[in-house]
Amino acid sequence: DFAFVDADKPNYVRYHEQLLRLVRVGGTIIYDNTLWGGTVALPPDAPMSDLDRRFSAAIRDLNAKLAADPRIEVCQLAIADGITI
């Protein structure tokens, strides 16, 4: 199985839980935009648009949850706007 997620960023964590139920063991899930223009590495109070602040916070939350999830193996690639496999 294979799933590619490029959707509304605030729901990525929900999609992750849903996809873990749908994708078979050994399948691949890829999340797009997991660096969000580099804003995920900035302090939360760094100057940015409201949209970037909201999406950056959502992506930071996703990245932390993926890194801590013992059910999966994670690889983040710093290409384009970042993808996480």
Closest CA to 80 of 47, 25, 18, 36: 36
Per the structure, the count of domains in the chain is 1
Helix axes 50-68, 12-22, angle to 10 degrees: 40
Query: How much of the chain, in percent, has pLDDT values that exceed 70?
Result: 100
Output phi, psi for 15, to 5 deg. -60, -40
* Residue 16 pLDDT grade (very low, low, confident, very high; cuts 50, 70, 90): very high
Domain span at 66? 2-84
**Residue 40: CATH number of its domain:** 3.40.50.150
Average pLDDT over residues 5-17: 96
Each residue's pLDDT tens digit, 17-58:
999 999 999 999 999 999 999 999 998 889 999 999 999 999
